[in-house]
Amino acid sequence: MLIALGGGVLLLLTVLILEPIGTDLAEGVVEWVLPSGAAGAVIVAGWLVESKQHVVENMAPVLTMLFTPLFAAMLTVAASTYAVSGVAGAFDRELLGVFDALMVVVLGLVLYAMSAREPSRPAGLMDRVQLLAVASALVLDVMVLGAMVARIGDLGFTPNRVAALGLNLVLLVNLAGTAWLSMRFLTGRIAFHRLERWQTSYLPVFALWAATVVAVLPPLFVFT
């Protein structure tokens, strides 16, 4: 069930991101990836039940190994395609919301992967794949911020734009810090607990911005 839900989120985000580039790409994802992914999920689930029954008690490492490479591939393709095609300059409101959701999913995936990882284990392939996902998400976040600043310059400030802009800035700092510390961890300059400490110490920043959106923006924009 968890594999199916994760695959559904990945497929939905992929279709929404690829749609502005070309409807043929989005249709191809639905026509080919959906049946292939469903069949693959059944095979993986069957293999886990038969051969790895002990992992059922702790699915976090399994889900991390499954979805981190998939999201890394999707983010890399999206970042490269938007950067080359120039479509990033035409982000509309709905697509900006999709990218906000994608950044939050990436953050959740990073936290989930960290919770599933043994801190004493040395850096490995999955850590490199996670760095690729974070770096690609960072590139996309910069594009989104550029589009937001352009929209604000053209149309002015609104509560929604301020809330979205602040969220993306908060995510940008988090992703940049995660990428920097991940590179240092992969090169053996720091221990893994520095990454964990960065994420746990940064979580209150999200709570602070959420409180700001709820308590400060309404009176600032004279809500009734």
Name the pLDDT band for 135 (thresholds 50, 70, 90): very high
In a domain, 9, yes or no: no
Spatial distance between the Cα atoms of 200 and 204, rounded to a whole number of angstroms: 8
Spatial distance between the Cα atoms of 83 and 76, rounded to a whole number of angstroms: 11
In a domain, 106, yes or no: yes
Closest CA to 3 of 32, 31, 44: 44
Amino acid 187: pLDDT: 92
In a domain, 54, yes or no: no
Q: What average pLDDT does range 58-86 have in this prediction?
A: 78
In a domain, 41, yes or no: no
Amino acid 184: pLDDT: 95
In a domain, 183, yes or no: yes
pTM to 2 decimal places: 0.81
Spatial distance between the Cα atoms of 220 and 70, rounded to a whole number of angstroms: 41
Sign of dihedral through CA atoms 20, 24, 27, 31? negative
81-125 pLDDT tens trace:
887 776 655 567 777 788 888 888 888 888 888 887 888 888 888
If one counts the domains in the chain, the total is 1
In a domain, 14, yes or no: no
Please enumerate in sequence order all residues whose Cβ is within 8 A of that of 89, keeping only pairs 6 or more positions apart, or say none: 146, 147, 150
In a domain, 147, yes or no: yes
Range of the domain at 176: 59-218
Q: Are 140 and 99 within 8 A, CB to CB?
A: yes
In a domain, 29, yes or no: no
Residue 137 has pLDDT above 70, yes or no: yes
